[in-house]
Structure 1
């Protein structure tokens, strides 16, 4: 099974720039070993189970909770049985159809 998750999580009570808080979350995802891609508007990662995906989101919150009074999170899930490696494959599929590399 493949669980693709696109999410963003950050404190809303820490001013205009929240990159130090986002960096905590990205470091944790990187250390978890799951494939991920950081984008300007969020992060996409892939796990094999919904439980693993939710655990990562819960860990992300636990990194902010001690010193943040208000945290915003939005998450989207694409769950597909019998597939894996979709973090890369979905982009390749579109690129093949248009005959051009769209991701760099």
Structure 2
């Protein structure tokens, strides 16, 4: 099974620039070893189960909880049985249909 998650999470009580806080979350995801893609508006990651995905979201919040009084988050899930590596495969599919050479 493939669980794709797109989410953003950041404190709303720390001023305009929150990259220092978001970086803590990205470091945790990176250290977890799961595949992910950082974008300018959020992060997409892939796990094999919904439980693993929810655990990452929980850990992300735990990164901010100690020193953030208000945290905003948006989370989207795309869950598909019998598939894997969709973080890469979905993009390859579109690129192929556009006639672009796909690396990886």
Aligned runs of 1:24-103 on 2, under 5 Å?
Answer: 24-100=24-100
CA–CA distance in structure 1, aligned partners of residues 53 and 101 of structure 2? 28
User: What is the TM-score with the length of structure 1 in the denominator?
Assistant: 0.96
Gaps (5+ residues) in structure 2? none
CA–CA distance in structure 1, aligned partners of residues 33 and 62 of structure 2? 18
Structure 1 stretches of 4+ with a deviation exceeding 4 A read none
User: What is the TM-score with the length of structure 2 in the denominator?
Assistant: 0.96
The residue number in structure 1 matching 2:5 is 5
Q: 1:34-91: per-residue Cα shift (whole Å, max 9, x none)?
A: 0000000000000000000000000000110110000000000000000000000000
CA–CA distance in structure 2, aligned partners of residues 67 and 27 of structure 1? 17
Question: What is the count of residue pairs matched by the alignment?
Answer: 103
Q: Tell me how far 1:100 sits from its aligned partner.
A: 2.1
In structure 2, the CA distance between the partners of 1:101 and 1:64, relative to structure 1 (3 Å rule), is farther
Note if 1:15 corresponds to 2:18. no
Gaps (5+ residues) in structure 1? none
CA–CA distance in structure 1, aligned partners of residues 20 and 54 of structure 2? 22
The alignment yields a C-alpha RMSD, in angstroms, of 1.4
